[in-house]
Structure 1
């Protein structure tokens, strides 16, 4: 099964074509340009580099967040359009799950994170086991000081990863057993999204299996300001 995989959750854009357990092509672009400008070019190049055409793709995978509000919407809209236009299935995978999945082995807690502004981070905590990736703390938007407190209470080795982990390096150094991933592991790889999605496709007979909205965890600043002003969400009548 060939899958086209897209991540646009951060400043970096990543696109991959995988087939079963092989990466046929993968492109990562980290130049802070608008995803709306470069994403389709990356998709076209990734498909051509894999030796395929869009008609050869059996399904699509996209990161659903957390991450950049705008980037997530662009990626989700692009993949949904490709899936619906070709009548092929698609799946959406957590960005944090994909980051943790990309770590081959670590005997401790895996802590991917993204900057959620105002000393908050989007994060979840994981462990590797014989059964795969286990979530020990679900997706959350949390103050960095509270995260440090939780990790020190757990008292296990911790691996921090994600580009934004470096923004908080001084504070995260307060975690007694904390270490930081290599730059290679700090980027969300589109291929990781695809490999995580393969079993979902196989177990759902290729139906569209995740049509949820992007996983924002919390509402955007604009929506918070609207709620404070009007006392209700923009989606409430």
Structure 2
């Protein structure tokens, strides 16, 4: 069984090819460049290097969010299109769960995070059981200072994972003290191979109905709903 994994949910562009026993190949970059024009060439290159034809794929797994609205949308759209055109299943994995998997040997809990600007973060709380990250607190969009207090109340040591941990590290250090731990640079990037392995046994999505998990509304949608509410109350 060959699985193609696609992650464009943030600056990291990750394409992976896995089977049940190994990561066959990965393509990873961490660049602020347009994923929409880079992802298909990356998929084609990886499949060619791994001597795999699209018709030999058995499943597509995509990082379904949260993250960059545009990035998540690009990855999900391509994954849905490929799965539909090839007639194969599509599964989704939380973008944060993929990050959490890199902390599987940490003895405490894991808080993967992406910066969401204005003091907010996308995060969740995970513990790795066996080989898979298990969600303890659901993925959410929350102020970093509020999240730090929630983590302090757990009383556990916390490993923070992701490229954006430096933005909020002082907030967590000041609140958690010695219980705050931070992954080293080598563990910042989500691995597309990890995404593929996590998605092997995930349930199949309805390709036409599946939508990204943005967690919060995009700014334009929020402003539109706010205007509608004001008109209703006028």
Q: Same fold (TM over 0.5)?
A: yes
Aligned-partner Cα distance in 2 for 1:68–1:114: 9
Mean Cα displacement is larger for which, 120-129 or 5-14? 120-129
Aligned-partner Cα distance in 2 for 1:48–1:131: 29
The answer to whether structure 1 residue 183 and structure 2 residue 185 are counterparts is yes
Which residue in the other structure is 1:163 paired with?
Answer: 163
Deviation at 1:184, TM superposition (A): 2.2
Change (3 A) 1:104 1:131: closer
RMSD across aligned positions (CA)? 1.7
Which residue in the other structure is 1:140 paired with?
Answer: 140
Aligned-partner Cα distance in 1 for 2:2–2:113: 29
Which residue in the other structure is 2:197 paired with?
Answer: 195
Deviation at 1:19, TM superposition (A): 1.3
Q: Deviations over 1:117-165 (max 9, x none)?
A: 2111111101123484322111111111111111111121110011111
Change (3 A) 1:129 1:20: closer
Which residue in the other structure is 2:76 paired with?
Answer: 76
Which of 218, 229, 234 is residue 227 of structure 2 equivalent to?
229
Aligned-partner Cα distance in 2 for 1:136–1:213: 23
Aligned-partner Cα distance in 2 for 1:39–1:54: 15
Aligned-partner Cα distance in 2 for 1:7–1:142: 23
Q: Give TM-score, length-normalised by structure 2.
A: 0.92
Aligned-partner Cα distance in 1 for 2:18–2:185: 23
Aligned-partner Cα distance in 2 for 1:101–1:209: 25
Q: Deviations over 1:59-109 (max 9, x none)?
A: 111100000000011100101111111111111110011111232311111
Aligned-partner Cα distance in 1 for 2:227–2:164: 31
Taking the TM superposition and a 5 Å limit, the aligned residue runs for 1:2-81 are 2-81=2-81
- Structure 1: 5+ residue runs without aligned partners? 233-237
Paired positions, count: 227
Which residue in the other structure is 1:152 paired with?
Answer: 152
- Structure 2: 5+ residue runs without aligned partners? none
